[in-house]
Amino acid sequence: LDARPDTTTHRFPAAFRWGTATAAYQIEGAAAEDGRTPSIWDTFSRTPGKVRNGDTGDIAADHYHRVSEDIALMRRLGVTDYRFSIAWPRVQPTGRGPAVQKGLDFYRRLVDELLEAGIRPVATLYHWDLPQELEDAGGWPQRETAHRFGEYASIMAGALGDRVATWTTLNEPWCAAFLGYGNGVHAPGRTSALASLRAAHHFNLAHGLATGALRGALSPGSEVSLTLNLHAVRPHSDSAADLDAARRIDAVGNRVFLDPVFNGSLPEDLVRDTAAVTDWSFVLDGDLETASAPIDSLGINYYSPTVVAAGSGPAEASPWAGAEQHVRFLPAPGPRTAMDWPVDANGLHELLMRLRDDLPGVPLVITENGAAYDDYADPSGEVKDPERVAYLHAHLAAVHRAIEEGADVRGYFLWSLLDNFEWAYGYSKRFGIVHVDFATQRRTFKDSARWYAEVIARGGLAE
């Protein structure tokens, strides 16, 4: 009999899913192996000035050659689920035509080894790595790309539909559309408000087409989902002007995806706000019906809140089509991570309360949450990251409070399992709970990894 007192202060539901998350281009490396061709991120990272220090994902964390080792790390953590993404250009190098068997084999082995380890595979079809050939043909602003994505989804449904627990169609289409085609900070680096809005719509269409393709091939109990980086928007004050600024960012940051997917409609205010950019005639009859095919859960990625006031943004390219001349972004107060993002767990709670109220009956999953900090090594060789532990503790406590208040949150995926290629920041920012020495590819548990293993083992937070 265990006589130790139970010190758990925040106990999560017994069926809660505890996971970690990664993305193909950020960890795999092996950029030219087994038939993989360049994606827009290969092209972008090889373009001087786009990624810090000229870093690329050519080698990254070499996960392509270290699947078994990385699954062993997850076993040590005790995670129930693992969220990874599939590199489209590994499977269908030109974005069209038949699949490359070696690409499919890689993901089949990953999934089978996860299942053997008792870890549920959560597969994302698109985490930003569009085959370059499809970008050359016009990319996401082009309707054709959505249809190509639907086809790629059917290939993956046929290959792995019998063994993947959860399919996520898209990761953060906001980033892919508005950072990729609006302000150009992400690949493919285009800067056009019109292109960003067209891309956003084609992501909604692509999501619906993929959902349809996956639906027929699912094994019993499997699910289809979508992951959004919803913005926890806070007006600086209650003034009508500041409230209107918040409304605009909510429209082009959140409802641009939420309304088509969950309501089969376009936000009317967004259409008005963007009237000088487009009449939205690229939205064809039936598109919104396709986009709103029922899904089984909504994934939410949260890092920081967004504080806005009435004003005007910088004149250069903006990711906020139609809102840039009306909104100014204010730094939220408080401590910051190495990304300079504010640490504020209340934003996650606010977001979950809003979704509890706006999307009743839709199960929610935190598909990403975590923080970049510079680790420092102890003389003992251990990697200390107390700030990350504090960040994670505060955000899990916020999730717990939201569940107590009626939000139907089914799981939490920590970003990230490994230090990895942090997009425009290259390897200069570390989000991992496992440290990666990129010179040797040696993996070392940070204190946060030990802490997370304990949280999972006890099913909640202590003290």
Residues acting as catalytic residues = 172, 368
Looking at residues 125 to 144 of the shown chain, list those that interact with ligand GBH (rule: CB under 6 A): none
Tell the residue number behind the tokens 């500041």, with chain if given. Answer: 242
Q: Closer to ligand GBH at the Cβ: 106 or 431?
A: 431
Per CB under 6 A, the list member of 88, 415, 451, 452 interacting with ligand GBH is 415
Which amino acid is located at 84 in the chain? F
Q: Which two tokens stand for residue 59?
A: 């080698």
Convert residues 333-372 into a mask of x (bound to ligand GBH by CB under 6 A) and - (unbound): -----------------------------------x----
Q: Least Å distance between CB 184 and ligand GBH?
A: 12
Distance CA 192, CA 409 (A): 36
Asked if 373 interacts with ligand GBH (CB under 6 A), we say no
Q: Least Å distance between CB 80 and ligand GBH?
A: 21
- Sign for the CA dihedral angle at 422, 428, 433, 436 comes to positive
Q: Which residues contact 170 (CB under 8 A, 6 or more apart)?
A: 124, 125, 126, 176, 203, 206, 207, 210, 226, 227
Q: Which residues contact 71 (CB under 8 A, 6 or more apart)?
A: 82, 113, 114, 117, 119
- For 88-102, b/e burial (b = at least 16 CB within 10 A) is bbbbbbebeeebbee
Looking at residues 236 to 295 of the shown chain, list those that interact with ligand GBH (rule: CB under 6 A): none
Looking at residues 23 to 42 of the shown chain, list those that interact with ligand GBH (rule: CB under 6 A): 23, 26
Q: Which residue is nearest to ligand GBH (CB)?
A: 229
Convert residues 191-220 into a mask of x (bound to ligand GBH by CB under 6 A) and - (unbound): ------------------------------
Determine whether the annotation assigns residue 346 to a binding site: no
Distance CA 109, CA 113 (A): 6
Determine whether the annotation assigns residue 26 to a binding site: yes
Determine whether the annotation assigns residue 441 to a binding site: no
Q: Least Å distance between CB 179 and ligand GBH?
A: 6
Give the CA count within 13 Å in the CB-facing half-sphere of 320.
23
Q: Least Å distance between CB 247 and ligand GBH?
A: 16
User: What is the bridge-based pairing of β-strands 376-377 and 383-384?
Assistant: antiparallel
Determine whether the annotation assigns residue 25 to a binding site: no
Q: Closer to ligand GBH at the Cβ: 92 or 416?
A: 416
Q: Give the residue ranges of DSSP H helices in 240-340.
A: 240-250, 256-263, 268-273, 287-291
Q: What are phi and psi of 182, to 5 degrees?
A: -95, -65
> Annotated binding residues for substrate, as ranges?
26, 127, 171, 303, 415, 422-423
Residues in contact with ligand GBH by CB under 6 A are 23, 26, 171-172, 175, 229, 301, 303, 319, 368, 415, 422, 431
